Amino acid sequence: MEMVNIKINGEAISVPSNYTILQAARQAGIDIPTLCYLKGINEIGACRMCLVEVKGAKGLVTACVYPVNEGMEVLTNTERVRSARKTVLELTLSNHEKKCLTCPRNQNCELQRLSDELGVTDIPFEGETIQREIDASSPSIVRDNNKCILCRRCVSVCKKVQTVGVIDAKERGFITQIGCTFDKPLNDTDCVMCGQCIIACPVGALYEKDSTKDVWAALADESKHVVVQTAPAVRVALGEEFGMPIGSRVTGKMVTALRKLGFDKVFDTNFAADLTIMEEGTELLGRIKDGGKFPMITSCSPGWVKFCEHNFPDLLENLSTAKSPHEMYGAIIKSYYAEKAGIDPKDIYVVSVMPCTAKKFESEREELAGTGYPDVDAVLTTRELAKMIKEARIDFTKLADTGFDHPFGEEASGAGVIFGATGGVMEAALRTVSEVLTGKSFDEIEYNAVRGTEGIKEATVTIGDLDVKVAVASGLGNARALLEKVQKGEADYHFIEIMACPGGCVTGGGQPIQPAKVRAEIDLKAERAKAIYDEDRSLKVRKSHENPYIKQLYAEYLGEPCGHKSHKLLHTHYTARPRLK
């Protein structure tokens, strides 16, 4: 890479010639404020917060898009620069709804933080404001344009990363707003509820539909037996809400906190991930042996499933019919567990703590009611669980570790844990399918070919005499690219794993929100996934089919994977949806 020599605030540095001033400054440890900038996603210079002086330039320039060149001299902290940034910020605040104390992003708002850092103590440009109607039509996402600062980060992630594109800037000038085609509510569009727009938003213009009130009410209802289950990705992110380092594993503290909140039982969704592998793996084996529909595609990401229903209805037969793990667990809790515990299923209230906003939508799907009751009654995001813990005045970081309750003991396998990272479902399936197909037990069970944070991964895995062609995609833009190759006959696979969110569930739309500056410096996908794999290695059982409580469940209740009873409780169907953009 060709290098150029520049000076920033008098400091001589050498940087790659394709850098912007912002990249160069950050390499030199010099902080330039940003609002609209989101590394690799939204680099448009719209907010003007990153203004700097360049000697020889006529005016101030935006550092996030201005390229470096040989001999350039940049000043980032002059009176002129500071005054311009402050004025820009004051103008941004002039028509922003300033109900900070009741905003879901209070104390985690990039606009609020900049106002403090840049010394905004008054807003001299108070003028006309437009009152926008809050869009709460979606079961997962709330849009409040009264708080929107038109940074377009949500638009970029929806268009460029997810290729869903249901929101965009509308109108011009002062009346510009972010909205949907023909002013449709979000629920009347192709939105897949993934929530990537929420974690991209720097303010409180987007947030998840609140379920905490329903859960508090259930906990207070003495007629309800309230159980909670937690997804694998939650335990490697929840700690961030309490100031712990990114990638901290807080499994034991999380379980203790849930008990203190008053849940009657605290279950581990990892067990249901093992159950998913038994059903999905058996389905794959059946297709291999009987010449079934290929490629078989995973179905545990509800954002991906809805995306497929809208965009690839011709591939719905390729989806595994297995429900997602938390829905499977809900069905088992309201059937087998209810019988064992002697509780009427109507009195059991199942709460899922998920890294995902699309799970809220999924829990409302009518077809996910294997017992005649909804499999899951309420879904909390990781953020919502943190909110409840804080509201209960629980000092999370000082909690002791405790273990999960379980209908069948306290055991889930490492294969269930790795569901939280992209490639994890594929690897978990391969650990089981390889041994069932060959009749052999393998010590080497880590399939590194499907690991990593790349958007698309392809591999051929040799199992006995069979070469199994697999692919993994995370992020719906990558899924679209991969499936278009399949449709055109340019790619041939037996099995495909797709997760709606880039990096998988670890960066789901319900996970803790990190500011753009942190996201630019730390790979959240990699740090959280590392913790996932560390937990896998720490467990005694690392293969789903070796989980003794899975064996017990089939022996006592389900019979066999993909059998009559398991099909009724643990499988589902999908519906082609019209394009609504």
**Active-site residue identified among 208, 240, 327, 362:** 362
Ranges of each domain in the chain: 3-77, 122-208, 212-570
Cα-based distances in Å from 510 to 258, 310, 561: 18, 22, 31
Backbone angles phi, psi at 133, to 5 degrees: -75, 135
Q: What pLDDT score was predicted for residue 158?
A: 98
Q: What pLDDT score was predicted for residue 314?
A: 95
Check if the beta carbon of residue 1 is closer than 8 Å to that of residue 8: no
What is the β-pairing status of strands 73-75 and 168-170? unpaired
Q: Which residue is it, tokens 């879904």?
A: 379
Beta-bridge mates of residue 470: 459, 495
User: What CATH code is assigned to 122-208?
Assistant: 3.30.70.20
CA atoms of 430 and 403, how far apart (whole Å): 28
Question: Which residues 6+ apart lie within 8 Å of 541 measured at CB?
Answer: 411, 412, 413, 414, 547, 548
Cβ neighbours, 10 Å, residue 334: 29
The tokens describing 359, both together, are 């799970």
Cα-based distances in Å from 125 to 91, 93, 116, 165, 241: 6, 8, 18, 34, 34
Distance of CA 374 to the CA centre of its chain: 23
CA distance from start to end of the chain: 42
For 459-488, b/e burial (b = at least 16 CB within 10 A) is bebebeeeebbbbbbbbbbbbbebbeebee
Q: What pLDDT score was predicted for residue 128?
A: 80
CA atoms of 13 and 23, how far apart (whole Å): 12
Cβ neighbours, 10 Å, residue 277: 30
Nearest residue to 378 via CA among 348, 405, 406, 404 = 348
**Active-site residue identified among 211, 320, 335, 544:** 320
Question: Which residues 6+ apart lie within 8 Å of 115 measured at CB?
Answer: 89, 93
**Chunked in runs of 10, what are the mean pLDDT values of the chain (581 residues)?**
94 96 96 96 96 94 97 96 96 92 96 96 84 96 97 98 96 91 94 98 98 98 98 98 97 98 97 96 91 92 98 96 97 96 97 98 94 96 98 98 82 91 95 90 88 94 89 98 96 96 98 97 96 94 93 95 95 90 63
CA atoms of 430 and 495, how far apart (whole Å): 10
Q: Can 367 be counted among the known catalytic residues?
A: yes
Q: Which amino acid is at 130?
A: I
CA atoms of 172 and 168, how far apart (whole Å): 12
Distance of CA 158 to the CA centre of its chain: 13
Options 3.10.20.740, 1.10.10.10, 3.30.70.100, 3.40.630.30; CATH for 3-77 is 3.10.20.740
**Active-site residue identified among 36, 180, 191, 505:** 505
Q: What pLDDT score was predicted for residue 534?
A: 95
CA atoms of 374 and 372, how far apart (whole Å): 7
CA atoms of 196 and 475, how far apart (whole Å): 10
Check if the beta carbon of residue 200 is closer than 8 Å to that of residue 41: yes
**Active-site residue identified among 300, 308, 356, 562:** 300
Q: 245: cis peptide before it, omega within 30°?
A: no
Q: Can 283 be counted among the known catalytic residues?
A: yes
Q: Which amino acid is at 35?
A: L
Q: What pLDDT score was predicted for residue 581?
A: 63
Q: Architecture of domain 212-570 in CATH?
A: 3-Layer(aba) Sandwich (3.40)
Backbone angles phi, psi at 53, to 5 degrees: -95, 140
Question: Which residues 6+ apart lie within 8 Å of 309 measured at CB?
Answer: 316, 574, 575, 576, 577
Q: Can 300 be counted among the known catalytic residues?
A: yes
Q: Can 339 be counted among the known catalytic residues?
A: no
**Active-site residue identified among 265, 359, 360, 543:** 359
CA atoms of 450 and 421, how far apart (whole Å): 10
Q: Can 359 be counted among the known catalytic residues?
A: yes
Check if the beta carbon of residue 74 is closer than 8 Å to that of residue 54: yes
The tokens describing 486, both together, are 């399949």
**Active-site residue identified among 241, 283, 327, 497:** 283
Q: Give 133's DSSP letter.
A: P
Q: ∠ CA 207-506-470 to the nearest 5 degrees?
A: 125
**Active-site residue identified among 208, 280, 384, 435:** 280
Q: What pLDDT score was predicted for residue 409?
A: 59
Backbone angles phi, psi at 12, to 5 degrees: -80, 130
Cα-based distances in Å from 191 to 68, 575, 577: 38, 15, 12
Q: What pLDDT score was predicted for residue 479?
A: 98
Instruction: Output the pTM of the full model.
Output: 0.95
Q: Can 454 be counted among the known catalytic residues?
A: no
